[in-house]
């Protein structure tokens, strides 16, 4: 399962980076493409369910969130290895790609049955200190949490309950965080049948980009906590060999000398994002690498460029310096200008996210952001869209990102032109100033989104309007 997923993603990214230079930027994805997929994404995004499958893709959890899982195994037994019995219900619930941090809460049918901050404990992964009306069935059974380490051993709770011939020594689920659940099959307690089981978990253990340097040994102990920094998340996703691109690491477990990742740019980006942007949410492995990278970039307002054989990360911010002033002497083709159409201009956005506050408990929620100034400019006509922020659970940041998308939709002038080789000093993500009096532009600023060497040996640049005042940092 995971090998196939990794192969699929590898094929996808290979197609993306085949060009000489390409820039990623979520806020600049063509609206027609985004709108076409939005309804389907909203409809299929729920993680508060228990799917039944032994070959379903496993999601990646970064930061902290509540999620259901996939029932990889469900059966009854006598609790001592005989499947003919029905005294106990046995469930193996795959939660996320590992290795993750601690489990914080466990829910049965939206009722908290175990809480580490309310008397819950676990020893060697086994949970104790159950609460609520389900406690008797849980106390007479057991639940074991496995964090998804690559070297994790077989779960003995399952081996003993359903038999070693069924749950064998090969059923280690290495690299997958899961719950092994043995509960008393009491029809008085579980009147609705098999309960819906969800858990609040600290997500995947990742590395601190700030501590990475070329030639260093990759640490065996990583960290996991709520409010993961999106720069660390992106680095983990790009370098993961199972579900990501698998960049950067040599066969001896050392960091390569910046072979594929511009570490300096990632470290600089983390300084800008520190205590500003935070990730707490799910990345589906069923999505393409491009879509998942875009989602991570959106969580920090970032731009990822691939050039000179390396991935370079930049955070959009106010008062960015100008890389080059471009005038007619640098341009070898007509300048194509595209203006934002009504269909991609907004004055209202509904943002879908998961709300972690008490009473909501990570269930789906919405925040509606309106802009009265733009509404007046649009003669009172409501121009609205929806966005989904699966990695952001802070309502303040959700509102800010929604307002940012509204703002960027109003500054949507795009340009494309070809020029001389002197333009190679410009990189994807850079700010350029266009000095073209015929267009009424005197040092008008644009952000370079892509830069390519054409078949005619010229440099083709695509850029979008840059307005410093609307940036979040």
> Taking phi first (over 0 means left), then psi (-120 to 50 degrees means alpha), and beta for anything else, what does residue 109 get?
left
Instruction: Tell me how far apart the alpha carbons of residues 85 and 78 are, in angstroms, rounded to a whole number.
Output: 4
170 belongs to a structural domain: yes
143 belongs to a structural domain: yes
Average pLDDT over residues 96-101: 93
Instruction: Tell me how far apart the alpha carbons of residues 326 and 29 are, in angstroms, rounded to a whole number.
Output: 25
Higher-pLDDT residue of 25 and 336 is 336
Distance from CA of residue 249 to its chain's centroid? 21
73 belongs to a structural domain: yes
166 belongs to a structural domain: yes
Same domain, 189 and 118: yes
Same domain, 463 and 335: yes
The predicted structure's pLDDT at residue 44: 56
Query: What percentage of residues in the chain have a pLDDT greater than 70?
Result: 88
Instruction: Tell me how far apart the alpha carbons of residues 236 and 144 are, in angstroms, rounded to a whole number.
Output: 27
Same domain, 459 and 328: yes
Q: pLDDT by residue (tens digit) across 57-70? A: 889 999 999 999 99
Query: What percentage of residues in the chain have a pLDDT greater than 90?
Result: 64
Instruction: Tell me how far apart the alpha carbons of residues 62 and 60 are, in angstroms, rounded to a whole number.
Output: 7
Q: pLDDT by residue (tens digit) across 113-154? A: 999 999 999 988 999 999 998 999 998 889 999 999 999 999
**Strand 431-436 relative to strand 176-184, pairing:** unpaired
Instruction: Tell me how far apart the alpha carbons of residues 103 and 96 are, in angstroms, rounded to a whole number.
Output: 12
Q: Is the pLDDT of residue 25 over 70?
A: no
Same domain, 89 and 123: yes
Structurally, the chain folds into a number of domains equal to 3
Same domain, 98 and 235: no
41 belongs to a structural domain: no
31 belongs to a structural domain: no
Higher-pLDDT residue of 324 and 124 is 324
The predicted structure's pLDDT at residue 434: 97
The predicted structure's pLDDT at residue 14: 24
Task: Identify the domain boundary among 296, 315, 334.
Answer: 315
For the chain, report the end-to-end CA distance as a whole number of angstroms. Answer: 40
10 belongs to a structural domain: no
pTM of the model: 0.86
Range of the structural domain that residue 294 is part of? 209-315
The predicted structure's pLDDT at residue 257: 58
- Report yes or no: 237 and 288 within 8 Å, Cβ to Cβ: no
Among 31-40, 56-65, 182-191, 348-357, which is the least confidently predicted range? 31-40
Same domain, 263 and 335: no
Q: Is the pLDDT of residue 23 over 50?
A: no
Q: Is the pLDDT of residue 338 over 70?
A: yes
- Helix (H) or strand (E) holding 416, with range, is strand 414-419
Q: pLDDT by residue (tens digit) across 384-435? A: 999 999 999 999 999 999 999 999 999 989 999 999 999 999 988 899 999 9
The predicted structure's pLDDT at residue 40: 55
Q: Where are the beta strands (DSSP E) in 116-273?
A: 121-123, 126-128, 142-146, 176-184, 197-202
Instruction: Tell me how far apart the alpha carbons of residues 232 and 278 are, in angstroms, rounded to a whole number.
Output: 10
Q: Is the pLDDT of residue 333 over 90?
A: yes
Residue 16 exposed, middle or buried by CB count within 10 Å (0-12, 13-18, 19+): middle
Contact partners, residue 413, CB within 8 Å, separation at least 6: 337, 338, 339, 340, 446, 464, 465
Higher-pLDDT residue of 188 and 16 is 188
Angle, helices 2-16/289-298, rounded to nearest 10 degrees: 80
Instruction: Tell me how far apart the alpha carbons of residues 197 and 47 are, in angstroms, rounded to a whole number.
Output: 11
Same domain, 197 and 75: yes
Same domain, 342 and 311: no
Same domain, 198 and 219: no
Q: Is the pLDDT of residue 12 over 60?
A: no
- Report yes or no: 243 and 285 within 8 Å, Cβ to Cβ: yes
Same domain, 460 and 326: yes
Q: Is the pLDDT of residue 8 over 80?
A: no
Same domain, 372 and 447: yes
**Strand 336-338 relative to strand 310-315, pairing:** unpaired
Residue 431, number of CB atoms within 10 A of its CB:
19
Average pLDDT over residues 223-234: 90
The predicted structure's pLDDT at residue 249: 67
Among 83-92, 257-266, 437-446, which is the least confidently predicted range? 257-266
The predicted structure's pLDDT at residue 78: 95
Rounded to 10 degrees, the C-alpha dihedral 249/255/256/261 comes to: 80
Per-residue pLDDT band for 46 (boundaries 50, 70, 90) equals low
Task: Identify the domain boundary among 315, 348, 380.
Answer: 315
159 belongs to a structural domain: yes
Task: Identify the domain boundary among 262, 289, 315.
Answer: 315
Same domain, 102 and 198: yes
Instruction: Tell me how far apart the alpha carbons of residues 103 and 129 are, in angstroms, rounded to a whole number.
Output: 14
Average pLDDT, the chain: 85
Residue 311: C-alpha distances to residues 304, 391, 423, 447 (Å): 7, 22, 20, 17
What is residue 156's three-state secondary structure?
helix
Q: Is the pLDDT of residue 22 over 50?
A: no
């Amino acid at each position: 399962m995971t090998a196939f997923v990794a192969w699929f993603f590898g094929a996808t990214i290979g197609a993306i980076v085949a060009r000489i230079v390409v820039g990623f930027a979520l806020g600049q994805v063509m609206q027609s493409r985004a709108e076409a997929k939005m309804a389907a994404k909203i409809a299929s995004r729920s993680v508060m369910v228990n799917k039944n499958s032994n070959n379903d893709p496993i999601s990646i959890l970064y930061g902290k969130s509540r999620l259901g899982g996939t029932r990889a195994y469900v059966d009854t037994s006598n609790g001592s290895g005989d499947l003919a019995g029905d005294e106990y219900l046995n469930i193996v619930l795959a939660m996320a790609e590992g290795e993750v941090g601690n489990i914080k809460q466990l829910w049965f049918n939206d009722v908290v049955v175990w809480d580490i901050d309310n008397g819950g404990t676990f020893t060697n992964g086994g949970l104790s200190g159950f609460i609520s009306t389900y406690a008797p069935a849980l106390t007479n059974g057991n639940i074991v949490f496995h964090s998804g380490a690559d070297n994790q051993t077989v779960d003995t709770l399952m081996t003993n309950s359903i038999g070693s011939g069924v749950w064998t020594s090969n059923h280690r689920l290495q690299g997958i965080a899961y719950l092994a659940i043995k509960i008393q099959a009491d029809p008085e307690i579980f009147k609705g049948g098999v309960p819906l089981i969800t858990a609040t978990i600290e997500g995947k253990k990742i590395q601190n980009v700030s501590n990475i340097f070329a030639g260093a040994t990759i640490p065996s102990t990583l960290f996991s906590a709520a409010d993961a920094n999106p720069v660390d998340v992106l680095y983990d996703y790009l370098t993961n060999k199972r579900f990501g691109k698998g960049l950067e690491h040599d066969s001896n477990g050392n960091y390569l000398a910046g072979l594929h990742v511009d570490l300096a740019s990632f470290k600089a980006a983390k300084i800008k994002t520190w205590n500003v942007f935070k990730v707490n949410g799910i990345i589906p492995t069923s999505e393409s690498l491009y879509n998942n990278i875009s989602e991570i970039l959106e969580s920090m307002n970032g731009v990822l460029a691939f050039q000179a054989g390396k991935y370079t990360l930049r955070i959009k911010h106010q008062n960015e310096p100008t890389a080059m002033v471009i005038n007619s002497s640098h341009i070898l083709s007509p300048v194509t200008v595209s203006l934002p159409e009504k269909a991609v201009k907004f004055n209202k956005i509904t943002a879908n996210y998961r709300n972690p506050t008490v009473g909501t408990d990570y269930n789906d929620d919405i925040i509606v952001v309106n802009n009265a100034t733009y509404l007046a400019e649009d003669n009172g006509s409501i121009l609205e869209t929806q966005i989904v922020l699966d990695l952001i659970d802070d309502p303040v940041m959700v509102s800010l990102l929604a307002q940012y998308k509204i703002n960027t939709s109003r500054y949507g002038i795009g340009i494309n032109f070809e020029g001389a080789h002197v333009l190679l000093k410009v990189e994807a993500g850079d700010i350029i100033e266009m000095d073209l009096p015929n267009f009424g532009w005197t040092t008008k600023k644009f952000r370079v989104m892509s830069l390519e060497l054409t078949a005619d040996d010229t440099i083709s640049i695509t850029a979008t309007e840059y307005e410093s005042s609307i940036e979040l940092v």
